[in-house]
């Protein structure tokens, strides 16, 4: 029986890898795109742990809460379905539309980077960055201390979990301003500035601006003491280099992964984790969190719905989307319900948040098995369309910064929930920035600038008439 299960695990992995290679055009580590990035995260954070669970390793703490043992196998089969159907949907879409995505992506990487009006863009990025950094400074003042320094020097008795919840409740003006300025604005501007610095090479002021914005971004992503955001932020910088240069060698990406792992270990140590505890602490450390937490939470979704809670039927959509689609009831994410039910101790002491799982967990919790299957097809087609879109837009530093950020955020979002792919304000804003960046210079040159110059000329003539009248 174990041998047959091992064949299913290996066969499923091989088939999924083949389909992802077809759908993404390449799975080369140095030429990552939105589909291959999602694939690597899926294999690492979901498929590996689900396979181990399916083969009998159920020692992670999340799995001890499962009430129905049959949900272990069910979870793996749903993960296996995702491993096949997700890339298959994208590949079939390309086949039907007669798109050679491998050739398209190769041409995109080999294109030279276009740079137009770098002086104007410098001032736009610099002024926008200054305003966002001001919001960040006010946010830090509201916190009362510099969070990054607390990681380096932690006072005795400092509780990171409690502080994470307190910091998450702080906002400047309101949550939209805080999220856009700090959570989106500073990182995006740093990527755009970095792309310009790489493309222009010997431009001191672009590199100086990049240094300031990257430093501010690292401060912003470590604000709530989470371990992985800083690694994902730095990886997007690597994506920018990859897109500007047309790819990277595999050892470079592997070296980055080693440094990123070391950074995560450092943060764990600073927050009190003891790596000397041996195998007994294996499941609670960074390896256990990476391999098993997402899978255990996914199993909880299948265990909890609808046996304990009825299906949510769209209540995990954002309040704005609920209003648009006419969904009745209160807004609730399935991951929050899972945390409230299974993580009652953390909820009681105020450190409980949301237990994230692969997107199919939230899709199932809201719409059942049919919704789960449709969500897999929907995301496969969506990611395929986005990959095609990215290869068709102009390859300039502005667009590359947005593409790199979207690639990372959307790939990560597959491990956090499904409803963010129906409506998410920041994602929509990023997508709208692409056409805005295309049409803004056209409107400036054809409409704003001529009228601006006409007014200046009229103002100059008026001054001349006044001088002539006074004389």
| Closest by CA position to 404, among listed 109, 130, 167, 148 | 109
| Closest by CA position to 402, among listed 185, 88, 182 | 185
- Residue for token pair 């090479």: 201
Instruction: Report the pLDDT value the prediction gives residue 373, as an integer from 0 to 100.
Output: 97
- What is the Cα–Cα distance from 263 to 261, expressed in whole angstroms? 5
Asked if residue 121 lies in contact with residue 203, where contact means CB atoms within 8 angstroms, the answer is no
| 261: CB partners within 8 A, 6+ apart | 286
| Closest by CA position to 135, among listed 163, 173, 191 | 173
C-alpha distances (whole Å) from 386 to each of 105, 167, 264 are 12, 34, 30
Average pLDDT on 229-236 reads: 88
**What pLDDT, in 10s, does the model give residues 161-193?**
777 778 777 878 787 788 888 889 999 999 999
Alpha helical stretches, state H, 272-358: 286-288, 294-304, 319-325, 334-342, 344-348
Q: What DSSP state is assigned to residue 162?
A: H
**What pLDDT, in 10s, does the model give residues 82-99?**
999 999 999 999 999 999
- What is the Cα–Cα distance from 361 to 415, expressed in whole angstroms? 9
- What is the Cα–Cα distance from 367 to 346, expressed in whole angstroms? 28
Instruction: Report the pLDDT value the prediction gives residue 347, as an integer from 0 to 100.
Output: 43
172 φ, ψ (degrees, to nearest 5): -115, 120
Asked if residue 317 lies in contact with residue 422, where contact means CB atoms within 8 angstroms, the answer is yes
174 φ, ψ (degrees, to nearest 5): -160, 175
**What pLDDT, in 10s, does the model give residues 38-86?**
999 999 999 999 999 999 888 888 888 888 899 999 999 999 999 999 9
C-alpha distances (whole Å) from 230 to each of 63, 207, 211, 221, 269 are 28, 20, 16, 6, 16
**What is this structure's pTM?**
0.89
- 338-348 burial: b if 16+ Cβ within 10 Å, else e: bbebbbeebee
Residues making up the chain, counted from first to last: 471
């Amino acid at each position: 029986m174990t041998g047959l299960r091992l064949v299913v695990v290996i066969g499923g992995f091989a088939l999924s890898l083949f389909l992802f290679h077809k759908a993404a055009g390449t799975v080369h580590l140095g030429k990552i795109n939105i589909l291959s990035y999602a694939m690597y995260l899926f294999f690492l954070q979901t498929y590996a742990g689900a396979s181990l669970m399916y083969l009998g390793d159920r020692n992670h703490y999340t799995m001890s809460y499962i009430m129905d043992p049959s949900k272990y196998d069910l979870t793996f089969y749903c993960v296996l379905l995702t491993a096949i159907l997700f890339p298959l949907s994208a590949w079939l879409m390309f086949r039907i539309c007669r798109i050679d995505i491998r050739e398209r992506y190769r041409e995109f990487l080999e294109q030279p980077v276009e740079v137009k009006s770098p002086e104007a863009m410098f001032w736009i990025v610099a002024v926008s960055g200054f305003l966002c950094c001001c919001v960040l400074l006010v946010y830090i003042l509201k916190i009362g201390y510099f969070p990054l320094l607390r990681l380096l020097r932690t006072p005795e008795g400092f509780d990171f979990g409690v502080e994470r919840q307190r910091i998450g409740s702080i906002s400047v003006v309101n949550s939209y301003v805080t999220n856009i300025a700090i959570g989106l604005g500073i990182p995006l501007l740093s990527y755009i500035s970095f792309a310009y610095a790489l493309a222009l090479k010997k431009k001191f002021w672009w590199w100086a601006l990049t240094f300031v914005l990257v430093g501010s971004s690292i401060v912003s992503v470590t604000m709530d003491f989470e371990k992985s955001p800083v690694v994902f932020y730095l990886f997007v910088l690597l994506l920018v280099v990859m897109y500007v240069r047309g790819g990277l060698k595999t050892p470079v990406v592997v070296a980055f992964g080693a440094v990123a792992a070391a950074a995560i270990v450092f943060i764990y140590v600073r927050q009190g984790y003891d790596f000397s505890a041996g195998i007994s602490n294996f499941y609670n450390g960074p390896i256990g969190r990476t391999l098993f937490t997402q899978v255990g939470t996914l199993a909880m979704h299948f265990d909890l719905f609808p046996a304990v809670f009825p299906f949510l039927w769209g209540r995990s959509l954002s309040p704005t989307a609920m209003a648009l689609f006419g969904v009745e009831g209160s807004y609730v994410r399935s991951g929050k319900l899972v945390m409230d039910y299974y993580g009652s101790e953390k909820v009681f002491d105020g450190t409980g948040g949301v237990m994230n799982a692969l997107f199919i967990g939230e899709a199932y919790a809201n719409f059942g098995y049919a919704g789960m299957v449709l969500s897999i097809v929907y995301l496969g087609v969506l990611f395929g369309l986005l990959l095609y879109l990215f290869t068709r837009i102009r390859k300039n530093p502005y667009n590359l910064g947005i593409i790199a950020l979207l690639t990372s955020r959307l790939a990560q979002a597959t491990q956090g929930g499904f409803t963010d792919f129906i409506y998410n304000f920041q994602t929509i804003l990023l997508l709208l920035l692409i056409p805005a960046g295309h049409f803004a210079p056209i409107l400036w040159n054809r409409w704003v600038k001529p009228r601006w110059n006409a007014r200046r000329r009229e103002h100059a003539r008026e001054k001349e008439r006044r001088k002539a009248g006074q004389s």
